[in-house]
Structure 1
Amino acid sequence: MSDSQRFPVLFIPHGGGPWPFMDFPAGGDGKTPWADLGAFLRGLDHQIGRRPKAVLMISGHWENEPVPTVSTAEHPGMLYDYRGFPPETYELSYPAAGSPELAARAKTLIEAAGMDVGESAERNFDHGVFIPMMLVYPDADVPIMMLSMKNTLDAETHLAIGRALEPLRDEDVLIIASGMTYHNMRMFYSDDAQHQKQAIRFDDWLTDAVEKDDVVERAALLSSWEQNPDALACHVPDHDHLVPIFVAAGAAGSDRGHRIFKGEFLGKPYSGYRFG
C-alpha cells in the first residue's frame, strides 16, 4: 500500500468527563465550553476520508498495567470512570465491537520489538475511548481494540511501542491516541494569568516538537519533555494524558505531524494532531 493509502495516526483531545452529553452555560465570550472540540471530532470521519476495518486506541485512562496490554473482548462493556456527573451520563452506551484479531496482531508486533505484552478480556471502554468515539463514529460501526499504556509512563517506551505498531497503518487500521495536551485538574478552572501563559507556552512547544521534519529530533524533544520549564505545571498530578502522543509519534514513522485542532478552556489551550 502506498503512503497515500495508508491510514494516518491521530492524537485527539477527549475533553472533560462526559462533556458532549451535558449542558454548559456559555462563558463571558459567548462560547460554550468544548463546542469546538465537538465539531472537530464530528468531522474526523469526513476528514480521514474512508473507514478503517478497525481502530486501535490508546487512552490516557488505561495506565495501570506493568506491560502494554491489549483488550481481547469481542464486545467490551462500559467503564464510567468519572465522578460527580449527572445520572444520565452513567447510562451512556457505545456498543462497538472489539477486535480480538487486531489484538493478536498488535501483540505480535510489540513482542517482535522485544517487549512483553499482556492481554485483558475484561477491559471495558473508558471515557477516553467512548466519549470521543461517540462523536467520531456515532453508529458504533467500527470495531475498537484498546491498548494500555505501561505504568512507567515514560516517553521512550511508548515511542517504541508506537514504532512497533506502525505496520498496522498499511493494514487498514486507524491508530488513535486519546488524551489531553493540558491536564492540570487543580488549575483547570483557574483564571490565573501566569498559569495561562505557562499552558500557552507548553502547547506551542509541544506543537513545534510534533511538527519537526526530522524524526530523530522529534523523538529527542518528546523524550525530554519534562525539561520544558512549563511542562510539569500543565500535567498534574501526573502526565497520563500526555503519554498517548508518544505512541502516536512513534507509529507515525517518518510522517511529520501537523496540528489539526486547537481549542481553549478558560485560557488554557489544548491541541489535536495528525501524522500522515
Structure 2
Amino acid sequence: MFSLKISKILVKGCEKMISSLFICHGAPTLVSEKNEYTDFLKDLGSRQKPKAIVIFTAHWESEITTISSMDDTYSMIYDFYGFPKELYSIKYPAKGSVEVASKLQSMLRNHGIESKLDKNRGLDHGAWDILYLMYPKADIPIIQVSVNPFLAMERQYEIGRAIRELGKEDILVIGSGSTVHNLATVDWNSEKVEEWALEFDDWFIEKVEDNDKDTLFNYRKLAPYAKHAVPREEHIVPMFIAMGSGNRDKPKLLHQSYAYGTLSYICFEF
C-alpha cells in the first residue's frame, strides 16, 4: 500500500481541544499499514484524550438515528470480504457508555430528531479501523451511531448541530467515512492519484474551508465528478454531521493524501 503526498500539505497539530473531526477510514488494511496517513492518525490521537467518543460510521445505516447503548465491551464486526486473514483476528476491546448514549439521545430529542438505542451491535470497521490507530489502548468509552444516507445534507448537518454541546464536555464527535469512495475505481496497484478524484476533493476542500454550506449542501449538482466520486452517499454523510457538530469558526484541513489511485485519506477539524 502507498499513500500519496500531494502539493497541499497541510496542517500538523491543533491549537486547542478538538470537538469534532471528519476522518476517512480507508480500507480495512489501514490498521496493519505504516504510511503517512497512519502516522498522522497516531499523532492526532496522541494530542488529546477525550472523556468519550461519539462516532458516526458509514458502515451502519438505519432510517432512524440509532445509538449504541451499553457499558460492556463491544464485539467486533468484520464487515469486509477477501482481505488477509489476520485482519479478521484484530481486536479492539473498547467499552460503550449508557450514560453518554442517553445524553446523546436527549440532545437529539430536544431538537426534534428521532432516535433509538441499540444494546447489541458490535463495532464495525468504520469505527475500529481508525480508533485502533488513534487510541490503541481502547480505554475511552465509544458510542457508535448510525447514518441515514437518504436524508438531505441539510438534515445531516442539523443532526450534528443538535449535539454540538458535546464538545464543551470533552466528548469528541467523529464522522467516519470518505470523500471519494467509488470502489469500482480503486486500483490496488496504482501509485498515481486519478485527476478526477483530486479535482473533486480540491473543490470540496475549498468549499469546506470557506464554510460555504449552501454550496456544499448542493455538492451533488455543483461539484466536478460528484456522482463518480460519490456513487452512494453513506460515506460522505458523516462529514456533514461532523461539520454541524463542530465549534471552530473556520474548518481546518488537517491531512490530505491518497491510496490505490482514488481512495481519499482526508481529515477535517470542525
Q: TM-score, normalised by structure 2?
A: 0.87
- 1:171-190 CA distances to partner (integer Å, 9 max, x unpaired)? 11011111111100000118
Q: Give, as a single letter, the amino acid of the residue that structure 2 aligns with 1:244.
A: P
Which residue number corresponds to residue 261 of structure 1?
A: 255
Structure 2 Cα separation of the partners of residues 273 and 18 of structure 1? 22
Match of 2:214 among 215, 220, 231: 220
Which residue number corresponds to residue 9 of structure 1?
A: 20
The reply to whether residue 38 of structure 1 matches residue 38 of structure 2 is: yes
Q: Is the 8 A contact 2:156 2:240 kept in 1?
A: yes
Q: Is the 8 A contact 1:163 1:253 kept in 2?
A: no
Q: Give, as a single letter, the amino acid of the residue that structure 1 aligns with 2:20.
A: V
> Where in structure 2 are the equivalents of 1:91-102 lying within 5 Å?
91-102=89-100
Structure 1 Cα separation of the partners of residues 48 and 220 of structure 2? 37
Which residue number corresponds to residue 225 of structure 2?
A: 230
**Structure 1 residue 8: Cα displacement:** 2.6
- 1:54-77 CA distances to partner (integer Å, 9 max, x unpaired)? 0000111111x1111110022221
Structure 1 Cα separation of the partners of residues 121 and 152 of structure 2? 22
Structure 2 SS opposite 1:256: coil
Q: Give, as a single letter, the amino acid of the residue that structure 2 aligns with 1:41.
A: L
Q: Is the 8 A contact 2:30 2:38 kept in 1?
A: no
Q: Give, as a single letter, the amino acid of the residue that structure 1 aligns with 2:239.
A: I
Identity among equivalent pairs (%): 32
Q: Is the 8 A contact 1:154 1:243 kept in 2?
A: no
The reply to whether residue 58 of structure 1 matches residue 53 of structure 2 is: no
Structure 2 Cα separation of the partners of residues 20 and 173 of structure 1? 24
Structure 1 Cα separation of the partners of residues 255 and 248 of structure 2? 21
Alignment gaps of 5+ in structure 2: 1-14
**Structure 1 residue 154: Cα displacement:** 2.7
Q: Is the 8 A contact 1:159 1:219 kept in 2?
A: no
Alignment gaps of 5+ in structure 1: 23-33
Structure of greater relative contact order (alpha carbons < 8 Å, 6+ residues apart)? 2
Q: Is the 8 A contact 1:99 1:144 kept in 2?
A: yes
Which residue number corresponds to residue 154 of structure 1?
A: 152
C-alpha RMSD of matched pairs (Å): 2.3
Q: Give, as a single letter, the amino acid of the residue that structure 2 aligns with 1:45.
A: G
Match of 2:130 among 119, 129, 132: 132
The reply to whether residue 188 of structure 1 matches residue 183 of structure 2 is: no
